[in-house]
Structure 1
Amino acid sequence: MPSAQEFSVLSFGAKSCPKEVIQALEANPADANVILPFLKKSLEGGSSTMCSSDQVWLFCVSRNNGIVTVDMVLSCTENEMGKYPIFIVPTQPVSRWSPTSLSVRLKALAEALRDSVPQERVYSIFAPDIVVFLFSQLWSDLVGIGINEKPYYAARLLSCATVIPNPLPLPPSATCRLAVTADTTAIAKLCKGFSDESEPFVLGRNEAFKEASLLISKQQVWVYCVSEEITCIAAFTRNTLNMATITKVYTRPSCRGRGYARHLVREVTRHLLRSGRREVVLYVAHNNASAARVYESVGFVEPDPAVEVGHSVKWTEVGFDRNYVDLGHW
């Protein structure tokens, strides 16, 4: 087990990511879904927003007899909709560190983050439970901003590599399809509904319309229609050649309980796997048993830790006192 001293924290820019970092993230793509797709787009020369100087990347490495190992990666980034939370992805099994070794690594990351961004930029942290609770406390102690009593989000990370066949066909009046420009207004209403249930990350009408337009233009959202009326959406916004992440599933409240989301998630997942991805991942909140049943019926399960080395099932987003931070959106 490495000692507390055998590590360092380094930074890199959007165009200069060390290959060791990419390799470490690619070794556990399920956990890395919050960082790896964005990082690859930045390296490939994505939009000016993705490559702006506001993006901060930090990573912790251990050294042992000349061998360098990437321990974890932290990102502070933003997209067209706003600033993301701070994401932290362990790239080694957390069990390899003693509590002291983990604490000093996270403290060093917190200090490097403090030196890189204004403290009001850090409105929340999203990471595996064992990391997020320790890091958020270290950050709070460092900058003097309190932690919200209730986490913004607490969820399990699920993965699907094989879709379970649907025992029931689509109703004759129903269709699942990729969204088109003509769907923008209807999808914006559902994006707004989703955000209204995701306090404090609530969108105004114009912001919801912007989000719908972006999802459609990037071909990242499908719809479930009943007699041509859109009742449900499923979006996938963190994607690489080998993996995709379903990030938003929302059914109009008056249409829930009819199996629409189950049909749509199954079709979207099948489409993503047929397009060449090896797996599709998503998060499901601990308190959302109905959504968990939908995803599990499609084939989503907790990734096998024997395959995903160091995989973390439970993830939480911890927020800080909103009187002292600037909220973003994701």
Structure 2
Amino acid sequence: MPSTLEISILSYTHARLLPDFVFSTLEANRIDANVILPLLRKSSDSERSNLPISSNQLWLCCISYDSSTTGTVDMVLSCTENELGKYPIFIVPTRPRSLWTRNSLEVRLRKLAEALFKSVPRERVYSVFAPDIIVSLFSQQWSELAGVGIINEPYYAARLLSCTAVVPQPSTLPPFGTCRLADTADTKTVAKLCRRFSEESEPFVLGREGASKEARLLISKEQVWVHCVSGKITCIAAFTRNTADTATITKVYTHRSWRRQGCAKRLVREVTEHLLGTGRSEIVLYVAHSNGSAAKVYESVGFVEPDGAVAIGHSVEWTEVGFDRDFVELGHW
């Protein structure tokens, strides 16, 4: 007789309570799971050590059961925040894309949307970031449940890239400036560049106070590097979602006066070499489809679409969809 499939949504507000098999599944998919796993690990470690951490955290795990299994993790949804504010809803599939049909996705995403709707107010869900097909289906499900419209133009549409080894630098590339870890003396300039980065990332624009807070936090956590020429900071690169195995470059911005001079390429190369040198297996990032110049920079350093993306199920194309801002409260990521 064929096995009967049962789909359950497990809900957790404390990271340490997630089953080990959920953690191990995310670890096995850590390139795709970079939007969820680092904060999940940090929260779990902090809870176990009784360190202060935000209480406004939620993880929803979609699990399939049949008569022959103890449970398979299909996808994980997070509704979390950090010191700077609330994150979008992140959804990470943990099974190869080739195994999904539209119907099987719709069934699971409907259950996730219903569980989320029961757990948080609709104003909390200002956007969702996930692989293309998942974000398309889930946003429709959420819109129907919450009665809130979808913004037609995506906030962000990007490719997921990873780097396991830096491409050798051409001998013809002349030295230009220096790269180093930012320190407290750089706070004002780093804040200015963080603010300008946000101004190109509508609708998540930071004011001076918000940009200063972000700069202080990045510097205190040693998560931002700078490229300098004659003592002037030309470019910043931040990496803010990190585990022992994987680091994620989340912000690269060059001052307008220094663009097209190779500053970002040099800085990304130095940062990537540094992060790989700390024992990490890969560095990941997202690059917007509309940002061809950034894609060239990353590819010249060694970033590519994850090996065997189609065969082993990596979700290369990711999109962030927003909801009607008259009904939601924007966060920051």
TM-score bracket, normalised by the shorter chain, equals over 0.9
Alpha-carbon RMSD: 2.0
Show the counterpart of 1:20: 21
Whole-angstrom CA distance in 2 between matches of 1:270 and 1:313: 23
Which consecutive segments of 4 or more residues in structure 1 shift more than 4 A?
2-5, 46-50, 168-173
Q: Offset at 1:284? A: 0.3
1:62 aligned residue (64, 82, 100) = 64
Report matched runs for 1:4-43 at 5 Å. Answer: 6-12=6-12, 13-43=14-44
Query: Residues 104, 245 of structure 1: CA spacing in aligned structure 2 closer, same or farther, 3 A cutoff?
Result: same
Q: Offset at 1:167? A: 1.3
Aligned: 1:111 with 2:114 = yes
Q: Offset at 1:165? A: 1.5
Letter in 2 for 1:312: S
Report matched runs for 1:275-290 at 5 Å. Answer: 275-290=278-293
1:219 aligned residue (219, 222, 226) = 222
Aligned: 1:205 with 2:203 = no
Equivalent residues of 1:50, 1:79 under 8 A apart:
no
Letter in 2 for 1:96: L
Measured against aligned partners, the alpha-carbon deviations of 1:18-51 in whole angstroms (never above 9, x if no partner) come to: 1111111111111000000000000000799973
Whole-angstrom CA distance in 2 between matches of 1:128 and 1:59: 17
Report matched runs for 1:229-248 at 5 Å. Answer: 229-248=232-251
Q: Offset at 1:3? A: 9.2
Q: Offset at 1:254? A: 1.4
SS in 2 for 1:311: coil
Whole-angstrom CA distance in 1 between matches of 2:121 and 2:106: 22
User: Which ranges in structure 2 are unaligned for 5 or more consecutive residues?
Assistant: none
The answer to which of 103-112 and 169-178 deviates more is: 169-178
Letter in 2 for 1:33: N
Measured against aligned partners, the alpha-carbon deviations of 1:235-262 in whole angstroms (never above 9, x if no partner) come to: 0000000000000000001110001000
Whole-angstrom CA distance in 2 between matches of 1:329 and 1:174: 32
Measured against aligned partners, the alpha-carbon deviations of 1:152-210 in whole angstroms (never above 9, x if no partner) come to: 00000000001012215775561000011110001000000100000100000011011
Q: Offset at 1:54? A: 1.0
Equivalent residues of 2:97, 2:315 under 8 A apart:
no
Q: Offset at 1:305? A: 2.8
Measured against aligned partners, the alpha-carbon deviations of 1:209-254 in whole angstroms (never above 9, x if no partner) come to: 1100000000000000000100100000000000000000000011
Aligned: 1:174 with 2:177 = yes
% identity of equivalent residues: 67
The answer to which of 306-315 and 58-67 deviates more is: 306-315
Q: Offset at 1:310? A: 2.0
Query: Residues 96, 186 of structure 1: CA spacing in aligned structure 2 closer, same or farther, 3 A cutoff?
Result: same
Aligned: 1:52 with 2:54 = yes
Letter in 1 for 2:28: A
1:138 aligned residue (136, 141, 153) = 141
Query: Residues 80, 48 of structure 1: CA spacing in aligned structure 2 closer, same or farther, 3 A cutoff?
Result: farther
Query: Residues 188, 4 of structure 1: CA spacing in aligned structure 2 closer, same or farther, 3 A cutoff?
Result: farther
TM (norm. structure 2) is 0.95
SS in 1 for 2:139: helix
Equivalent residues of 1:41, 1:50 under 8 A apart:
no
Whole-angstrom CA distance in 2 between matches of 1:76 and 1:182: 34
Q: Offset at 1:102? A: 1.0
Whole-angstrom CA distance in 1 between matches of 2:113 and 2:162: 30
Whole-angstrom CA distance in 2 between matches of 1:168 and 1:124: 45
Equivalent residues of 2:143, 2:150 under 8 A apart:
yes
Q: Offset at 1:99? A: 1.7
Whole-angstrom CA distance in 1 between matches of 2:137 and 2:310: 26
Query: Residues 87, 306 of structure 1: CA spacing in aligned structure 2 closer, same or farther, 3 A cutoff?
Result: closer
Query: Residues 136, 32 of structure 1: CA spacing in aligned structure 2 closer, same or farther, 3 A cutoff?
Result: same
Aligned: 1:93 with 2:93 = no
1:196 aligned residue (175, 195, 199) = 199
Aligned: 1:294 with 2:297 = yes
User: Which ranges in structure 1 are unaligned for 5 or more consecutive residues?
Assistant: none
Equivalent residues of 1:49, 1:78 under 8 A apart:
no
